[in-house]
Copies of this chain bind each other. A is one copy, B any other.
Amino acid sequence: MLTQKIKDKTVTVAVLGLGHVGYPMSTLFGKNGFQTIGYDINTQRLNDIKQGKVLLELTSILPTDEQEKQKALAEIKKNVQLSNSEEDLKNADVYVVDVPTPLKENETPNLVFLTNTCKAISMCLKKGNLVVVESTIYPGATEEIVKPILEESGLEAGKDFYLSFSPERIDPGNKKWSLELIPKIVGGINKESVDVACLLFSKIVAKVVPASSLQVAEATKMVENLFRSVNIALINDLSKFFEKMGIDTWETIAAASTKPFGFMPHYPGPGVGGHCIPKDPFYLLYKARKMGMNLEFVEEAAAVNKNMPLYVVHLIEDTLKMQNKSLRGSSFAVLGVTYKKDVLDLRRTPAKTVITELCKFSKDVVTFDPMTTESYGAKTGKTLEETIKNKDCIVLLADHAYFKENNLEDKINKLSPNCCVVDTRNFVDETKLKASILCRCLGKPVKSGQ
């Protein structure tokens, strides 16, 4: 019986999809002594993992002590078998689905990875197995989309196999709240499914929280990410207004943060990125529309955030104008390409839009990011120095620690003493820049005298 096998850790867990969630997830099972199959159809990704190229994504679950870390890595290597063969999946008792659930061009859910994965599972599914979906989907989707495909196996969900939805809550780069410490919401198609999935996850995370239904578990993830979408939209919207009013948004947020209740700070930025915040609203909106409901407010929030990269381009244009320059013919250095600081993740990064727009006006756009060489059609600078040398405008999009560690302000002073700087993260220390350099920050007024 599955319950006993989980207790004995003799269960084999297949994690399907080894992206920013599935990779750490499979590692966590392996680290805790579970025989684990890490499955992905992308052989490049499998190779990157094998070669330790994306170890950074495990930061929050590996010990910091080097000796301990090597011990954990050895245990993981012993327990986790990487594979792109569906054949290997047949040995599993538990299937954990961590595939991307992106959007189509028309902003509706693209569930092809999810459905393909479910088809693969249905080919291997055996009586008494457990299937857990962790990928973010709209409320109702596990029952409407996942269940029928799995039942093509001839087995019945809730009777012949356990079916659970348990949303991933990983926060890339968050060192305080590692995967192991974040409580895990567990919904299921019936109580038995909730119980067995709770038992499984209780072996690898500190706390499990049973939900009364699949839909509540699905909706929980939506509530969490819409909270972020809406609050980021609010502060993005306000930052434009405050900037125009001559008010420093960042100081205002710091002041508001002294309120000990009823407030949580969010910060303006060049737009939301990553796999969740930009697209989850559209998952919810898709389902709402199918039910004949308009969630205009949620829609408006998504629109505000989606428009931010273009606002940044407008800010760049406006700043150049103050120096009697224009987008056309100016040279640009774009610093930071990933969607946020100190992560490798490029998905839906606002940098893509900003760079693409700049490239429409200028052939001299160079990007630099210590995390990636992706440049979306612009040139890729080999070094920070080379990138920022003799530029008209330096745009900071991701506030990687690297830039501070490499004294960005000093380098700008030396290499582009007559440039302007557009800072979308309140990261550049203006007081360290030469007086000749015009520095504009998103959400901050232009300094008088400039």
Q: Which residues of A contact B (CB under 8 A)?
A: 139-140, 169, 171, 174, 176-177, 181-183, 185, 207, 209, 211-213, 215-217, 219-220, 222-224, 226-228, 230-231, 233-235, 237-238, 240-242, 244-248, 251-253, 255-256, 258-264, 284, 287-288, 291, 293, 295-298, 300-301, 304
* Alpha-carbon distance between A216 and B222 when the two chains are bound, in angstroms: 33
A242 and B219 within 8 A (CB): yes
When C-beta atoms are compared, the residue in chain B nearest to A245 turns out to be B139
Question: A255 and B298 in contact (CB under 8 A), knowing A140-B245, A234-B227?
Answer: no
Report chain B residues within 8 Å CB of A224. Answer: 256, 259, 262-263
Interface of A is mostly: helix
A selection of 20 A-B contacts at a CB cut-off of 8 Å is A139-B247, A181-B260, A183-B258, A211-B251, A215-B245, A216-B248, A216-B255, A217-B255, A223-B256, A226-B238, A227-B262, A234-B298, A237-B297, A238-B295, A241-B284, A241-B288, A241-B293, A245-B291, A264-B264, A300-B300
Per the bound structure, the CA–CA distance linking A83 and B222 in Å amounts to: 54
Q: How far is the CB of A83 from chain B (nearest CB, A)?
A: 32
For A215, list chain B residues within 8 Å (CB).
Answer: 245-247
Shortest CB-to-CB span from A236 to chain B, Å, is 9
Q: Which residue of the partner chain B has the closest CB to A228?
A: B262
| A434 CB, min distance to chain B CBs, angstroms | 24
CB distance from A372 to the nearest CB of B (A): 24
Chain B, Cβ-Cβ closest to A266:
B227
- The distance from the CB of A251 to the nearest CB of chain B, in whole angstroms, is 5
How far in angstroms is the closest Cβ of chain B from A311? 12
Q: Which residues on B sit within 8 Å (CB–CB) of A300?
A: 296-297, 300
A39 to chain B, nearest CB (A): 28
In the complex, A264 Cα to B298 Cα: how many Å?
17
Chain B residues within 8 Å of A207, by CB: 258
Q: Which of B223, B247, B248 contacts A252 (CB 8 A)?
A: B223
Contacts A244-B291, A300-B300 supplied; 5 other A-B pairs, CB < 8 Å = A139-B247, A177-B260, A227-B263, A245-B291, A297-B304
Residues of B within 8 A of A219 (CB): 242, 245, 247, 252
Residues of B within 8 A of A251 (CB): 211-212, 216
A221 to B: closest C-beta gap in Å: 8
A138 nearest CB neighbor, chain B only: B245
Whether the pair B182, A264 counts as a contact (CB closer than 8 A) is: no
* Alpha-carbon separation in the docked complex, A200 to B401 (Å): 41
The CA-CA distance from A144 to B392 in the complex, in Å, is: 38
Complex partner residue of A247 from B216, B235, B264, CB under 8 angstroms? B216
A244→B290 CA distance, assembly (Å)? 12
**From residue A231, how far is it (CB to closest CB) to chain B in Å?**
7
Closest chain B residue, CB of each to CB of A211:
B255
The chain B residue with its CB closest to the CB of A303 is B297
4 A-B pairs with least C-beta separation: A220-B255, A183-B258, A223-B256, A219-B252
Query: CB-nearest residue of chain B relative to A229?
Result: B234
Query: How far apart are A168's CB and chain B's nearest CB, in angstroms?
Result: 12
Q: Which B residues are CB-close (under 8 A) to A209?
A: 255, 258
Most buried by B among A230, A295, A296: A230
| Residue in A139, A140, A216 whose Cβ sees the most chain B Cβ within 10 Å | A216
Bound form: Cα–Cα A260–B212 in Å: 21
A262 CB → nearest B CB, Å: 6
Measured CA separation A404–B263 after assembly (Å): 29
Pick the contact of A226: B181, B211, B234, B293 (CB < 8 A): B234
On chain B, the residues within 8 Å of A174 by CB distance are 261
